[in-house]
Amino acid sequence: MGCSVSGIVNKKAGAALLKEPQAALAAVEAVRNEISIPLFVKFRTGWSPDIAPAVELAKQFESAGVDCLVFHPRVAPDKRTRPPVIENITAIKEAVSIPVFGNGDIITPEDCLNMLESTGCDGVSVGRMAMARPWLFAEWTSGFEPDENIFRDYALRLADALDTHFDPIRALKRFKLFTVYFAANFTFGHSLQSKFLAAKSMDQVREAIHKHLRPGMQLTKRPNMNLYST
């Protein structure tokens, strides 16, 4: 219930459910009744800056048997442009006794620690950076050191995975969706992204990967926000 993209919200899915808390709760209860594995519920502040409805919903999710809440403290109309209101993670954390994970704009391990320390949350959930650099979990927690070809290898593996699981048109579409976060890693991200967007097939994607993802490309310290905020 964190997605506020119009294609999702117009179908009354994603963050739209936060406009109808009873429907949100019914969906969670239905899932809870069907599964025995841990159930995490991800949600946002809602559609107005007032945190009270989200706090109320958090308590209801807990009563419904949810194991963990993942909270993104932004209102739904704000896709990801203004900064998250991280004090609101504390408001959710204090309202329930199940674990609460914070989410929003985590780029570095220091951002993680800041969120944990300043909000009292139990864990942190990483979105776009996990697409930009999926190895960052290993890097931050167990000292993994990526080699100089990791971006190329990642892009090739992603292309193969998409080819395996999707038809050629969807595979290409999904690859292009991912490139925006991937390209945000680099100082010349816009020009890199335009190379991928020009590809008309997955073979052309692979050609672009081999041609343009070279060792030693200049990385940005923080992602290029013009790309990253899409």
Helices (H) and strands (E) in the chain, counts: 12, 4
Which residue has 């990526």 as its token pair? 146
In whole angstroms, what is the distance from residue 3 CA to residue 87 CA? 21
Q: Which of 18, 89, 96, 106 binds ligand FMN (CB under 6 A)?
A: 106
Beta bridge partners of 101: 70, 123
The binder of ligand FMN chosen from 105, 151, 182, 213 (CB under 6 A): 105
153-159 long-range contacts (CB < 8 A, ≥24 apart) are: 154/182, 155/182, 155/209, 155/213, 156/206, 156/209, 159/202, 159/205, 159/206, 159/209
Active site residue 3: yes
**Interface residue with ligand FMN, options 103, 119, 179, 185 (CB under 6 A):** 103
Binding-site size, ligand FMN (CB under 6 A): 14
User: How far is residue 55's CA from residue 8's CA, in Å, rounded to a whole number?
Assistant: 24
- Applying CB under 6 A, the span of 51-59, 108-116, 121-129, 153-161 interacting with ligand FMN comes to 121-129
Q: Can residue 2 be called a binding residue for ligand FMN (CB under 6 A)?
A: yes
Q: Which of 126, 183, 199, 227 binds ligand FMN (CB under 6 A)?
A: 126
Give whole-number Cα distances, 2 to 94, 106, 117, 146, 166, in Å: 20, 16, 23, 31, 25
Which of 3, 68, 112, 121 is catalytic? The answer is: 3
Nearer to ligand FMN, 13 or 150 (CB): 13
Q: Which is nearer to ligand FMN, 40 or 55 (CB)?
A: 40
Residue 68, both tokens? 């963990």
Between residues 23 and 216, which has the closer beta carbon with respect to ligand FMN?
23
Which 20-49 residues touch ligand FMN, going by CB under 6 A? 42
Binding footprint of ligand FMN on the chain (CB under 6 A): 1-3, 42, 72, 80, 103-106, 126-129
Active-site amino acid positions = 3
